Amino acid sequence: MTWALDHIGDIMFRAGQHAWLAGLPLVLGLVIALPLGWLAARRPRLRAVLLTTTGLLYTIPSLALFILLPPLLGTKILDPVNVIVAMTVYTVALLTRTVADGLSSVDGSTRQAAIAMGYGSFARFRAVDLPLAVPVIAAGLRVAAVSNVSIVSVASLIGISQLGYFLTDGYARSFPTEVWVGIVACLLLALVFDLVIQVVSRFLTPWTRVVAA
Amino acid sequence: MIRFEGVTKRYADASGTDGGAGSVAVDDLTLEAPTGKITVLVGPSGCGKTTTLRMVNRMITPTSGTISINGRDTASLDVAELRRGIGYVIQHAGLFPHRTVLDNVATVPRLLGTDKRTARSRAMELIERVGLDPAMAKRYPAQLSGGQQQRVGVARALAADPPVMLMDEPFSAVDPVVREQLQNEFLRLQSDLGKTILFVTHDIDEAVKLGDQVAVLRVGGVLAQLDSPAKLLADPVDDFVAGFVGRDRGYRALSFAAAPELSLTDEPTVRLGAGADEVRAIGTPWVLCVGDAGEPLGWVRAAAVESEVTRSVLHRGGTVASTTGSLRALLDAALSSPSGRGVVADADGRLVGTIRAAEVIPAIEARRDAASSGAAAPSGAGTGATTSAADRPAEEATAR
């Protein structure tokens, strides 16, 4: 506890870096997964291809991806962009299926009514399908957020600064306190992400909390 | 006017290996839904009635043939524009769960570019017009009963005041009591609005009740008969239509015959609270009880009155016919009355007199004789295809 308080500045600084490395890919991944999921929901054949491909991306070990990306992107090994890109890949892998499922979950008669009222396909996506898919997408985002926070810590093995540093450093120095501090800090950060997503989702879906007639 | 000309919808076979023509959902349909009238498409499942409906707003594309609305070929119009000009109501209402009732109703005006304020005030008018409490406007669809959701569905379809409405089994998913309410209000609304309506149902009773004309389709999408409800009941073209129209059609056809002026018998009456002696003094086994305004309340069995007439001893089985009602209501009042004397009330619900079934029958006979002597109307149907449903004899009321 004393150790944690003595190093609170460093912990907060690395937590900020960790949040950035895990959070930005969450947003980027969602932005990419939305059109992919939309395509998958519209075209059954494309759906199988898209979901299998994106699903496979998640099986690439993170350490391998951190090392493979620099030659592909032309970045330096220590460039945080590698981590951002890798985490975005994982987020897309997790969210494409969620977005597709969320968009497909819209009730048939609601969809039919929207078409019959003269919504074009993009307008319908924006005004009907997407708002109704928010609860499902938010659930997927929560999984992706926790997954990102956990995977980012691996990046300390290639020297990118974030909370994972406390794990590798503590291990190297045989100093368990520091390892525990790193674990608890990661956990708290994951909880904050989770809370933010839940609050935003609640704000966007007032209709889900009404009492049925 | 919606006009179908030689419209066929053929689906490629699911197996698709034999190179066959595939299954035909709608077969060379030619049909006109006249302006301002309700045309009902009815038939068993697989008769292509919903397919026919959805081809009008191009949710399904016909394989061949043309569909025109007021002379304009629908295939030549912009699809979104076409749809925004057609009201559409479906079985489970299909409301947007994430929008309030008010915003659901305002949907099409908003799509057409009406500003939010105007669209909402128009939506509010319609919410009241379809018989919903204005307080419902702020609720979400999940907070409404099935019947209320269906009313919102109708209001939403009417919001942009489209001349044409497509209704696909809109009242099928609600319970019979609510269904009847919705049907009656729908007829009332239509008598004000005079929309050109294409209405799909599998329920022949609903078809006969709501339609100005009824198109019976058989499996495979072939039009079997297109006629007024009265003609359909009186003169089915073949065994299929006869079987589909069902039993009791002679009796049901009387719904479309206005009650003629018949001489009614004056009925002695008692009020609530009348003593047993007063009731027995009338001398008949059943005595009619009326309310303060002279409205019939129900029959009382004289022998069952112990001290005075109370609501609990009233017999509730008898229906009340109206002088402005149908022959069917008149006959039913007589048949359902425990005394055998059918209760007849005026338009305001006050007792006018009673009539026996034996006195109604000659009126029915006379009507048939008059019809068969006139060559122009061999079926004897009282109303033609062009008579609006709203002009029909009023439905019978139940004695209260």
Residue-wise pLDDT for B281-310, tens only, equals 888 999 999 998 889 999 999 888 888 888
Asked if B143's CB is within 8 angstroms of A210's CB, the reply is yes
Q: Which of A207, A209, A211 to mutate to test the interface with B (most CBs of B within 10 A)?
A: A207
* Secondary structure (3-state) at B8: strand
Query: What pLDDT score does B349 carry?
Result: 87
Distances (CA, A) of A52 to A45, A57, A96, B333: 11, 9, 10, 70
Percent of chain B with pLDDT over 90: 63
Asked if B90's CB is within 8 angstroms of A107's CB, the reply is no
Asked if B96's CB is within 8 angstroms of A118's CB, the reply is no
At residue B352, φ and ψ (nearest 5 deg) are -110, -40
Instruction: Report chain A residues whose CB lies below 8 A from the CB of B86.
Output: 116
Measure A53 CA to nearest chain B CA, in Å: 29
Of A107, A116, A211, the CB nearest to B83: A116
Asked if B92's CB is within 8 angstroms of A117's CB, the reply is no
Asked if A112's CB is within 8 angstroms of B142's CB, the reply is no
A122 in contact with B, Cβ within 8 Å:
no
> What does chain A look like in DSSP terms, one character per residue?
-HHHHHTHHHHHHHHHHHHHHHHHHHHHHHHHHHHHHHHHHH-HHHHHHHHHHHHHHTTS-HHHHHHHHHHHHT--TT-HHHHHHHHHHHHHHHHHHHHHHHHHTS-HHHHHHHHHTT--HHHHIIIIIHHHHHHHHHHHHHHHHHHHHHHHGGGGGGT--STHHHHHHHHHTT-HHHHHHHHHHHHHHHHHHHHHHHHHHHHH-GGGGSPP-
- Give residue A118's pLDDT band: very low, low, confident or very high (50, 70, 90): very high
> What does B14-73 look like in DSSP terms, one character per residue?
SS--S----EEEEEEEEEEE-TTSEEEEE-STTSSHHHHHHHHTTSS--SEEEEEETTEE
- Give residue B13's pLDDT band: very low, low, confident or very high (50, 70, 90): low
Residue B389 pLDDT greater than 70, yes or no: no
Residue B10 pLDDT greater than 70, yes or no: yes
**Closest residue in A to B103 (Cα–Cα):** A127
Query: What pLDDT score does B206 carry?
Result: 93
Asked if A213's CB is within 8 angstroms of B166's CB, the reply is no
Q: What structural domains does chain A harbor? A: 2-207 (1.10.3720.10)
- Average pLDDT in the B344-356 region? 90
Query: What pLDDT score does B374 carry?
Result: 55
Enumerate the β-bridge partners of residue B289. B270, B298
The contact set of B with A (CB < 8 A) is 57, 59, 79-84, 86, 88, 90-99, 107-108, 111, 139-140, 142-145, 148, 153, 156, 166
Of B91, B98, B108, the CB nearest to A109: B91
CATH of domain B258-400: 3.10.580.10
Query: What pLDDT score does A212 carry?
Result: 65
A205 in contact with B, Cβ within 8 Å:
yes
A172 in contact with B, Cβ within 8 Å:
no
Mean pLDDT, chain B, rounded, equals 87
Residue-wise pLDDT for B83-116, tens only, equals 999 999 998 889 999 999 999 999 999 999 999 9
Asked if B80's CB is within 8 angstroms of A207's CB, the reply is no
Asked if B90's CB is within 8 angstroms of A112's CB, the reply is yes
Asked if B94's CB is within 8 angstroms of A112's CB, the reply is yes
A213 in contact with B, Cβ within 8 Å:
yes
Question: Which ranges in B211-305 belong to alpha helices (H)?
Answer: 229-234, 239-245, 249-253, 276-282
**Closest residue in A to B146 (Cα–Cα):** A213
Asked if A116's CB is within 8 angstroms of B59's CB, the reply is yes
Asked if B244 and B44 touch (Cβ cutoff 8 Å), the reply is yes
- Give residue A209's pLDDT band: very low, low, confident or very high (50, 70, 90): confident
- Tokens coding B161: 């005041």
Asked if A110's CB is within 8 angstroms of B95's CB, the reply is yes
Residue B254 pLDDT greater than 60, yes or no: yes
Give the number of other Cβ atoms within 10 Å of residue B180's Cβ. Answer: 15
Burial classification of residue B72, based on how many CB atoms lie within 10 Å of its CB (0-12 exposed, 13-18 middle, 19 or more buried): exposed
Query: What pLDDT score does B399 carry?
Result: 40
A107 in contact with B, Cβ within 8 Å:
yes
Burial classification of residue B102, based on how many CB atoms lie within 10 Å of its CB (0-12 exposed, 13-18 middle, 19 or more buried): buried
Q: Which of A112, A115, A117 to mutate to test the interface with B (most CBs of B within 10 A)?
A: A117
Asked if A117's CB is within 8 angstroms of B108's CB, the reply is yes
Instruction: Report chain A residues whose CB lies below 8 A from the CB of B81.
Output: 118
Distances (CA, A) of B220 to B23, B29, B49, B348: 8, 11, 10, 48
Q: Residue B211: which of B377, B41, B91, B56 has the closest Cα?
A: B41
Asked if A213's CB is within 8 angstroms of B144's CB, the reply is yes
- Average pLDDT in the B221-246 region? 91
Asked if B148's CB is within 8 angstroms of A112's CB, the reply is no
Name the CATH topology of B2-256.
Rossmann fold (3.40.50)
Asked if A50 and A74 touch (Cβ cutoff 8 Å), the reply is no
Residue B378 pLDDT greater than 50, yes or no: no
Q: In chain B, what are the domain boundaries? A: 2-256, 258-400
Asked if A118's CB is within 8 angstroms of B59's CB, the reply is no
Query: What pLDDT score does B12 carry?
Result: 82
Measure B204 CA to nearest chain A CA, in Å: 24
Distance CA A51, CA B281 (A): 87
Give ipTM to 2 decimals.
0.84
**Closest residue in A to B56 (Cα–Cα):** A116
Measure A43 CA to nearest chain B CA, in Å: 18
Residue-wise pLDDT for A16-52, tens only, equals 999 999 999 999 999 999 999 999 998 989 999 999 9
**Closest residue in A to B144 (Cα–Cα):** A213
Residue-wise pLDDT for B148-157, tens only, equals 999 999 999 9
- Tokens coding B53: 């409906």
* Secondary structure (3-state) at B78: coil
